Amino acid sequence: MRAWIVLAVISMIALTASAQPTVPAEPFHDTLRGLTPLDEEAKPPLIAPVDNRDVIRARAYAQQPPTIPHKIDGYQLDRNANRCLACHARSRAAESGAVPVAVSHYTDRTGETLEHISPRRYFCTQCHVTQADAKPLVANTFTDLPDVRLPPARQTVKK
């Protein structure tokens, strides 16, 4: 009986090994790669032009840093200078009309509030990006917290 089971297992392995893979009827399609085969380099799309309308967009996910609603071409942003702070520093925001840098950018790792931007928050473009009028690469159904409504049974009644 054991010999029969061993023979059956060996037969199944042999049949599986000799079977040809099936080719799908439709070509492989990836939302980011398109129809480019996996062994070829996809041609990247053209970079969308930067919006320069100074319109603040809604966030695409929770905890998303705000996007930059204007062009920053030619801005010096290195260890020697930060052009963003010319308008967005809390001391200059009132006169420039720009959104001031968040208070969180003035705290260090220990939670101590500093008089100047924290070194770990100094390079703005490591979190913030310019806006472009481009089609999203993937679908997004994110709903920001103020737009989320609780079911009627869970809402609290104010007295």
**Which residue ranges make up the annotated binding site for heme c?**
70, 84, 87-88, 105, 124, 127-128
The annotated binding site is made up of 70, 84, 87-88, 105, 124, 127-128
Tell which residue, 74, 79, 75, has the closest CA to residue 87. Answer: 75
Kindly state the tokens that stand for 30.
Answer: 């990836």
SS3 per-residue string spanning the chain: CHHHHHHHHHHHHHHHHHCCCCCCCCCCCECCCECCCCCCCCCCCCCCCECCCCCCCCCCCCCCCCCECCCCCCCCECCCCECCHHHHCCCCHHHHCCCCCCHHHHECCCCCECCCCCHHHCCHHHCCCECECCCCCCCCCCCCHHHCCCCHHHCCCCC
